[in-house]
Amino acid sequence: MINEPDAGSEAKEMGNKVAGFLKSRQPEVCRLCKSPATRVFDLPLYSIEGDWITPVYRCRGCKTYMRDFDYSSPQMIKHFTLSTYTNLSNEKRLRHEKLDYFHFIANKAQTAGNKENDKNALDVGSCFGHLLDIFKSRNFQTFGVEPFEPLYREAIRRKNHSMFRDICGLPDSLKFDVITMLDTLYLIEDPLSLLVNLRKRIKPNGVLIIRIVNRVWILDTLRYLRFPVSSNVFGDHKYSFSLNGMRLLLKAAGFKTVSITGKEPGKLISDPKRRLLAQIFSLFSNLPGVNLAPGLILFCAPNPDNRI
């Protein structure tokens, strides 16, 4: 077991206290592949109450990292209230940064489903509804799932998308040509249950598009070099999925992975340091067998042999 050099016993004690308080499960067994997981470091998760110290585990099988904190807990609202991506004053900037990128995603999705004009799209974790705006401009019926109340209201106010706070609120009869989930799955407490639910809601020729961050190699390298892992690297995520872990998860939920790309054209990054790093890693992602891209987009289809 490798601990962060600055993760003292006091922090670990506090982490145990917080985890116990929230009745979070200790993920000693990986939820994705059932292999044993090892506690590797502790990280703060910010909230309006101050930082919570949370233990992070690494699966010895699929190499996915997971934070021991209950993301389905009502406590999480105290975190999301402070997140930059939920701040309404950032709406215009975030829209500008991702407009061309969302067109790229919509172009990829456009060929899925039926060939008629009555296509629909569901965006899970739809935030301000910017991706749904693009689908709507292309005559899709648009549906969003956004549990954070101010964003949920904003998506309705701006473009009158059909919004739901929870995936379970969607009518069972509604099936989708396109389901997108960009930078959402790693914030979900139980990603397998969510994917199983989506499997029931996708049309036989529909497409599921998932974007995750690609940081396992950074986390592994930092730990190998015995450098501290900070929240800047791990983010506020519940999971840092490995590609192997994602494949297992999708297979278990009844999806097949059709293609994976590390290229995300059109995405602008305001912060100069993050932009430079993203450019360097994107260059490396062109090498065969090497994938150091900042994020991965997985294009998936329902597996007809695996009906949940």
Q: Which positions lie near Zn ion, rule CB under 5 A?
A: 30, 32-33, 35, 59, 61-62
- For residues 209 and 108, what is the distance between their CA atoms, to the nearest angstrom? 9
**CB closer to Zn ion, 33 vs 76:** 33
- In sequence order, which residues have a C-beta less than 8 Å from that of residue 54 and are 6 or more positions away? 15, 18, 19, 42, 43, 44, 45, 67, 68, 69
**Minimum separation from the CB atom of position 57 to Zn ion (A):** 10
**CB closer to Zn ion, 30 vs 109:** 30
**Minimum separation from the CB atom of position 56 to Zn ion (A):** 14
**Minimum separation from the CB atom of position 62 to Zn ion (A):** 3
**CB closer to Zn ion, 30 vs 243:** 30
Q: Are 269 and 97 in contact (CB under 8 A)?
A: yes
**CB closer to Zn ion, 30 vs 151:** 30
**Minimum separation from the CB atom of position 34 to Zn ion (A):** 7
**CB closer to Zn ion, 129 vs 245:** 245
What are the angstrom distances between the C-alpha of 288 and each of 278, 283, 291, 293? 18, 11, 8, 12
Supply φ then ψ for residue 204, to 5 degrees. -55, -35
Pick the closest to residue 3 from 217, 221, 237, 223 (CA basis). Answer: 223
Helix axes 243-252, 191-201, angle to 10 degrees: 50
**Minimum separation from the CB atom of position 48 to Zn ion (A):** 33
Order of all β-strands in the sheet with 37-45? 37-45, 52-59, 65-67, 239-240
